[in-house]
């Protein structure tokens, strides 16, 4: 960003105001400043590349996440507990892409904020809300999967409970983002002509350096580190159970009646175990993508408020900022792609959604579902345990 900490001097030669906007001793009058700013705001050739990448990300992200929501809405069999969290994640991703991507691109290219205070507060508030919803939803999915696989008899997932959890996720996210509504301010660049100062602003918190540093560290801990630790622990235990092949609540009864099980039921059990493993792989990939894509922007904020950026070359900071700001939007666009590549069921539903997007749901249609019946046999009875996310083949 340009350094506008110049000085105003009265030129004795022509009695005009001098603006040293680059702090290089080169005096510019108001006309020179306006001409320079017009050139400054117009994108450079490399910024057109950035714009193109953002546009492609926007199109892919909107299309993919709308397809996820539409597929679940269209197929009644898909309206399961885990799918509710998946749709909630897609809604958060849509919010990130639709509301936050355009202003981010505009600020990165023009290096100024000229959309007013209301949009300043609203965009950053919704950005924090959407990011918080995304990471908390991933954590909720991990915990739900942990109970379903590691403690299947200790907790029963229901759609009513899922709705309550989703409501709490949005409520907590809005609470975390409230400081953006309260403290964000517009700050004018200093010592530029008044008639162009409205175009040279930044949207920044009205906090001192120490307060802002504490707030950013709190956000990183609450919206990144703690959820990632929780998710990692959950999926490590899930992977251990699935790849060990000894599912709690299922193995003991199965061993007692193993001779009684016919080949067909054995095949069904093996298929269900394989489906669970595929589902776990897909969700772990989604979590890894989130962790990788959000780490650079959190690192950028740490370096900024730690005062380290002033020791780094401007061009290097600009290039890193472009990448760090774009990666979260790439993450929001990549989740449907991950579903498509790692699940034949998702691919089928996406194709059906594209082909029959205007058609009504077909009753009794065999479509994608996260729910399947896991059969188990006990010494006293034969039952069916409903578990989620076991048919992702």
- What's the pLDDT score for residue 83? 80
Our CA angle for 241, 247, 252, nearest 5°, is: 140
Pairwise pLDDT comparison (308 vs 60), residue with the higher score: 60
Tell me the whole-structure pTM to 2 decimals: 0.74
DSSP 260-325: G--HHHHHHHHHHHHHHHHHHHHHHHHHHHHHHHHHHHHHHHHHHHTT-GGGS-HHHHHHHHHHHH
Pairwise pLDDT comparison (132 vs 357), residue with the higher score: 132
Q: Is 7 helix (H, G, I), strand (E, B) or coil?
A: coil
DSSP state of 390: -
> Please, what are the domains in the chain?
1-42 (no CATH), 44-249+262-361 (1.20.1070.10)
Give the model confidence (pLDDT) of 15-38 as tens digits.
456 655 544 455 656 666 666 666
- What's the pLDDT score for residue 326? 94
Give the model confidence (pLDDT) of 151-164 as tens digits.
877 777 788 888 99
230: confidence class by pLDDT, cuts 50, 70, 90: very high
**Gap between the Cα atoms of 283 and 342, Å rounded:** 10
Residue 212 CA to its chain's centroid (Å): 23
CB 53, CB 325: distance < 8 Å? no
pLDDT of 278 over the 60 cut: yes
380: confidence class by pLDDT, cuts 50, 70, 90: very low
**Gap between the Cα atoms of 199 and 382, Å rounded:** 72
Which residue, chain included where needed, has tokens 């409205």?
198
- What's the pLDDT score for residue 375? 34
Q: Is 8 helix (H, G, I), strand (E, B) or coil?
A: strand
**Gap between the Cα atoms of 330 and 301, Å rounded:** 19
**Gap between the Cα atoms of 322 and 317, Å rounded:** 9
CB 195, CB 231: distance < 8 Å? no
Our CA angle for 133, 137, 141, nearest 5°, is: 180
Our CA angle for 15, 21, 26, nearest 5°, is: 60
94: confidence class by pLDDT, cuts 50, 70, 90: very high
- What's the pLDDT score for residue 343? 65
Alpha helices by DSSP H, 203-250 = 209-220, 226-244
- What's the pLDDT score for residue 90? 92
- What's the pLDDT score for residue 331? 92
Task: Kindly tell me the burial class for residue 149, based on how many C-beta atoms sit within 10 Å of its own C-beta (0-12, 13-18, 19 or more).
Answer: buried
Mean pLDDT is lowest, of 3-12, 32-41, 186-195, 352-361, for 3-12
Average confidence (pLDDT) over 245-262: 52
- What's the pLDDT score for residue 228? 92
Average confidence (pLDDT) over 75-94: 85
Using a CB cutoff of 8 Å and minimum separation of 24, what contacts does 164-167 make? 165/85, 165/140, 166/84, 166/85, 166/88, 166/137, 166/140
Name the residue among 332, 298, 319 with its Cα closest to residue 49.
Answer: 319
Task: Considering only CA atoms, give the Rg of the chain.
Answer: 27
Q: Any residues with CB less than 8 A from the CB of 333 and at least 6 apart, and which?
A: 57, 60, 61, 64, 65, 93, 97
Summary mean pLDDT of the chain = 75
Largest CA distance in the chain: 104
Give the model confidence (pLDDT) of 312-368 as tens digits.
877 888 889 999 999 999 999 998 888 877 766 667 777 777 776 555 555 444 443
To the nearest 10°, report the CA torsion of 22, 24, 30, 33. Answer: -40
């Amino acid at each position: 960003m340009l350094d506008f900490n110049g000085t105003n001097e009265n030129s004795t030669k022509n009695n005009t105001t001098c603006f040293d906007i680059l702090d290089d001793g080169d005096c510019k009058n108001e006309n020179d400043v306006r001409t320079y700013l017009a050139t400054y705001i117009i994108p450079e050739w490399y910024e057109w590349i950035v714009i193109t990448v953002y546009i492609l990300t926007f199109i892919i992200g909107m299309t993919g996440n709308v397809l996820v929501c539409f597929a679940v809405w269209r197929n009644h069999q898909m309206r399961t507990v885990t799918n509710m969290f998946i749709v909630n994640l897609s809604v958060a991703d849509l919010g990130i892409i639709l509301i936050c991507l355009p202003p981010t691109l505009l600020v990165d290219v023009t290096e100024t904020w000229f959309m007013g205070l209301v949009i300043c507060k609203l965009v950053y508030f919704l950005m924090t809300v959407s990011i918080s919803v995304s990471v908390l939803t991933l954590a909720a999915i991990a915990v739900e999967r942990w109970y379903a696989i590691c403690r299947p008899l200790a907790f029963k997932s229901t759609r009513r409970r899922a709705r309550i959890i989703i409501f709490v996720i949005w409520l907590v996210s809005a609470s975390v983002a409230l400081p953006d509504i309260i403290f964000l301010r517009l700050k004018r660049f200093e010592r530029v002509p008044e008639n162009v100062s409205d175009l040279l602003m930044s949207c920044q918190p009205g906090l001192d350096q120490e307060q802002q540093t504490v707030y950013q560290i709190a956000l990183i801990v609450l919206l990144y580190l703690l959820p990632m630790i929780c998710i990692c622990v959950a999926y490590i235990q899930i992977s251990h159970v699935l790849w060990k092949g000894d599912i709690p609540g299922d193995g003991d009864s199965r061993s007692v009646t193993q001779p009684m099980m016919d080949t067909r039921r054995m095949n069904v059990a093996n298929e269900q175990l394989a489906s669970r493993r595929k589902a776990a792989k897909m969700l772990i990939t989604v979590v890894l993508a989130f962790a990788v894509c959000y780490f650079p922007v959190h690192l950028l904020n740490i370096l900024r408020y730690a005062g380290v950026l002033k020791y780094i070359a401007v061009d290097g900071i600009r290039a890193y900022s472009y990448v760090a700001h774009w990666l979260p939007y790439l993450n929001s666009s990549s989740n449907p792609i991950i579903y498509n590549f790692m699940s034949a069921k998702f691919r089928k539903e996406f194709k059906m959604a594209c082909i029959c997007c205007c058609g009504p749901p077909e009753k009794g249609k065999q479509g994608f579902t996260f729910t399947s019946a896991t059969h188990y046999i006990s010494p006293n009875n034969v039952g069916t345990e409903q578990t989620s996310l076991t048919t992702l083949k």
